[in-house]
Amino acid sequence: MTLTVRPHRESLGLKTGQLYLDGQWTPAREGANWTHRHPATGEEIGEFAVAGAADVDDAVAAARRAFDSGTWSNSRASTRIAVLRRFADLLRAHDEELRSLQALDNSVPLSFSGSIYATSVGAAADVFDHHAGWVDKLGGQTLPPYQGGDHLAMTFREPIGVVAAILPWNAPFLLFAQKVAPALAAGCTVVLKPSEYATFTVLRMVELFAEAGLPAGVLNVVTGPGDPVGEALITHRDVDKVSFTGSRAVGRRIVEASAGTLKRVSLELGGKSPALVFADAPDVGVAAATVVGAVTMGLSGQACVANTRALVQRDVYDDFLTAAQGMAAAVTYGDPFDPSVISCPLINERQLARVLGYIERGKEEGARLVTGGERLEGELAAGNFVAPTIFADVPNTATIAREEIFGPVLAVVPFDDEEEAVALANDTEYGLGAAVFSADAQRAFRVSRRLRAGTIGINGFQIEPHLPFGGFKQSGLGREGGLSSIEAYTELKSVLMPLTGELM
């Protein structure tokens, strides 16, 4: 039987061919379109507009007008809080619809988006609720005069201005929330560019935001690929900040492009995150299932923080590999709307070729292929499916242990003792996440303190809306989540005022 998702496309209805500018759905001026093909079936799902430079100008101008008018930043705090919370409630109310749209975009199965917190609609809603709580609490300080005398020294936090928010395709709910919620909580206005591979989900979210009562111009959407749409945004003179989640290569390009106008930049980039599995792990089988699950289930390893390097102590190395193979064999692929399917294909043919290329490289460089390593055929041949792939005995110098593959490929590296494990873990250009599996709490904390990464999970991994998330080293600049992320959408201003006629 041929796999098809078309019936869902017909029943869901898609917002097609329109940009969202200044509170209106508007066709692109030049009328160019992008056709989205489903990664599991190759079917055409729908077309959306490719914004041209003039459309991006319109979007930025709308965001600028809304910012300068204070329609959002100077409105009552209770009004802004109510809008953000209403949007959170609307997200929850449209949970199944949004997850279905996502399944049409990136083929993440409903079984996964309905059960794993980080990729759920509920997590995105929680991020908005959390940030709504900061709206009336963002403040500066009043400091005692340094040089004595009688004057006031104060700091204020003010919104940065117009933010260009650029999203990847893999987790549109959470990543939309991690950018838009703090930007709006800080009082900024936004021009959002979804990934060309997850546009329909985001367009529906924007429609729900309008329903929640967000004023026109505060959130605008331009759709289309990185070039030309993202490029027009990151080089635009009137964009004050670029907030980006995506690949390291594009992150570098954004840093370069921002130099012209010294834009503020936040970057959430890739990773090669290690899981350190010690012989005293509470349960090596559970550790193996957790690690392999993160690299194969749901997003098929297309997750920035997936622990794609398993560093395993030699005493439990064989047990780990046996359990890892068992877990890999249990992963199911196919129609994302089928509740028995728990993983997805690679997003496009380019990514499929890239991942298969890394697998060949792993073999060439002498790693031992334990399972997988090939494209899935038969009923799945029209999609970009790759079998869960585990390489053992991987030198930490091998390409597959160093580069972000963004596919279901786990590199297992043996170690003898804690010192070696920490050295291997930190021997990477990235520093997004890490996991430590050990029942010895002192060891777990000791090792966590020594790891050069932004988020560490002990005997598991979780993402929380109020915890900063982001990378050390080349995994990014800045953090998303919690107060620090809102502050990154503000400028800090100092104001001084003498309280007498004397000069300060």
Identify the active-site residue in 196, 268, 403, 480: 268
Question: Per CB under 6 A, does 48 bind ligand NAD?
Answer: no
Per the CB < 8 A criterion, the answer to whether 307 and 340 are in contact is: no
Pick from 250, 327, 463, 477 the residue near ligand NAD by CB under 6 A.
250
Residue 268 bears catalytic tag? yes
Q: Are strands 151-159 and 142-143 parallel, antiparallel or unpaired?
A: antiparallel
Sheet-wide strand order for 219-221: 24-26, 19-21, 219-221, 189-193, 162-166, 241-245, 264-268, 476-477
Our CB check for ligand NAD shows the closer of 73 and 178 to be: 178
The correct pick among 182, 217, 230, 293 for binding ligand NAD (CB under 6 A) is 230
Q: Tokens 């409630």 map to which residue?
A: 89
Kindly state whether residue 432 participates in binding ligand NAD, applying the rule CB under 6 A: yes
Residue 168 in the binding site for ligand NAD (CB under 6 A): yes
Q: Is 181 a binder of ligand NAD (CB under 6 A)? A: no
Assess contact for 357 and 406: CB atoms under 8 A.
Answer: no
Which range binds ligand NAD by CB under 6 A, 100-108, 227-235, 362-370, 459-467?
Answer: 227-235
Does 247 bind ligand NAD (CB under 6 A)? Our answer is yes
* Cα 171 from chain centroid (whole Å): 6
| Minimum CB distance to ligand NAD smaller for 281 or for 432 | 432
Q: How far is CA 85 from CA 125, 130, 133, 232, in A?
A: 8, 9, 9, 32
Out of 43, 58, 240, 404, point to the residue binding ligand NAD (CB under 6 A): 404
Tell which residue, 100, 85, 92, 82, has the closest CA to residue 8: 100
Stretch that binds ligand NAD, among 66-74, 147-155, 165-173, 312-320 (CB under 6 A): 165-173
Centroid of chain to Cα 472 = 16
Residue 196 near ligand NAD by CB under 6 A = yes
Residue number with CB closer to ligand NAD (227 or 416) = 227
Residue 170 interacting with ligand NAD (CB under 6 A): yes
Residue 80 binds ligand NAD, judged by CB under 6 A? no
Nearest by Cα to 241 from 195, 182, 171, 200? 182
Question: Are 63 and 55 spatial neighbours (Cβ–Cβ below 8 Å)?
Answer: no
Which two structure tokens, joined as six digits, stand for 383? 């999609």
Report the nearest approach of ligand NAD to the CB of residue 222 (Å).
10
Q: Does 304 bind ligand NAD (CB under 6 A)?
A: yes
- Total residues contacting ligand NAD by CB under 6 A comes to 29
240 binds ligand NAD (CB under 6 A): no
166 binds ligand NAD (CB under 6 A): yes
Q: Give dist(CA 206, CA 464) in Å, integer.
A: 23
Instruction: Name the CA dihedral angle for 177, 105, 112, 359, rounded to a multiple of 10 degrees.
Output: -110
Is residue 406 close enough to count as binding ligand NAD by CB under 6 A? yes
Contact positions toward ligand NAD, by CB under 6 A? Answer: 166-171, 193, 195-196, 225-227, 230-231, 234, 245-247, 250, 253, 268-271, 304, 404, 406, 432, 476
**Residues labelled catalytic:** 268
